[in-house]
Amino acid sequence: MIIVKQTPIRIVSLVPSQTELLYDLGLEDNIVGITKFCVHPIHFKNTKKSVGGTKQIKIEKIKALKPDIILCNKEENTKEIVEACSEICKVHVSELYTLEDTIALVKEYGVLFNKRTEALKISVKIEYNLNEFKEFIKDKPVLKVAYFIWREPWMVAANNTFINHLLELNNFKNIYANLERYPEVEINKLQQQGDPDLVLLSSEPYPFKDEHAFELGRFSHHSKTVFVDGEYFSWYGSRLIGAFDYFRTLRNRL
């Protein structure tokens, strides 16, 4: 928790999922700058100032917006970005790996931006939907999975990631959980490395297509390839309210 003398009014968000959370907290009018990847809510594309991407920002544009606070994330933004932003104003850097971390961030934003009631409503909804999903999933069989996020080189989500945490919640055993973060893998060794029941192709950040599914299929013994909504597996914040319904639907169609 960072300490501020008064509630920040002008906010720049460099994290797409946190931009959506700010909107759902009722802070639309306070958001003055976002990244080009902040696609929710959709109208922000036309109403908010873009200050670059999550890894490459336009620092002069941020300065011109005269923010009171800049919101970053340890995974989304680089150390250099955080340091550059710190010369402009207060910077809040989130670090999230679990649902508990996410709920804590929602509540922290509630205090920081004087939106405690709204934050409580969001956190309660997430916790309620999570508990319902746990009841649904507890008797479902464990399935071995590989969760791909990139091609050329092929990259997967491994241990110590929010994605892996949600895979575990879904009773999915990540065959790459012995590795860290987002490693490059050799798809011709897919069988030897775990021979998954499911190959999950995320909708982001790479735009996987049918031909990529066929390409992976050549190297697996019996796995089923499924395109999944990457936002529900990797976005924290208020997006999680709807994530558990999505996970339930996904399980039911496997």
Q: Are 35 and 51 in contact (CB under 8 A)?
A: yes
Report mean pLDDT in 10-residue bins for the chain, 254 residues: 85 98 98 97 97 96 98 96 97 96 97 98 98 97 98 97 98 98 96 94 96 91 93 96 98 94
Report how far residue 254's alpha carbon sits from residue 86's, in angstroms, rounded to the nearest whole number: 46
Say what the pLDDT of residue 190 is: 94
At residue 12's C-alpha, the angle toward residues 71 and 110, to 5°, is 55
Report how far residue 231's alpha carbon sits from residue 46's, in angstroms, rounded to the nearest whole number: 21
3-state secondary structure of 244: helix
Say what the pLDDT of residue 220 is: 84
Question: Which residues in the chain belong to E strands, given as ranges?
Answer: 11-13, 31-34, 49-50, 69-73, 90-94, 143-150, 155-156, 172-174, 198-202, 224-228
**What's the predicted TM-score (pTM) here?**
0.94
At residue 235's C-alpha, the angle toward residues 151 and 132, to 5°, is 120
Q: Which CATH architecture has domain 137-252?
A: 3-Layer(aba) Sandwich (3.40)
Say what the pLDDT of residue 222 is: 86
**Residue intervals in the chain for CATH 3.40.50.1980:** 11-130, 137-252
Say what the pLDDT of residue 1 is: 67
Task: Count CB atoms within 10 A of the CB of residue 105.
Answer: 23
Give the type of residue at 248: R
- CATH code: domain 11-130 is 3.40.50.1980
Say what the pLDDT of residue 42 is: 96
Q: Are 115 and 26 in contact (CB under 8 A)?
A: yes
In Å, how far are 12, 147, 209, 241 from 151, measured between CA atoms? Answer: 31, 12, 11, 30
Closest-CA residue to 91 (of 8, 20, 6)? 8
Q: What separation, in Å, do the N-terminal and C-terminal C-alpha atoms of the chain show?
A: 41
Task: Count CB atoms within 10 A of the CB of residue 178.
Answer: 11
Report how far residue 61's alpha carbon sits from residue 74's, in angstroms, rounded to the nearest whole number: 21
Rg of the chain over Cα atoms, rounded to whole angstroms, equals 19
Q: Are 4 and 69 in contact (CB under 8 A)?
A: yes
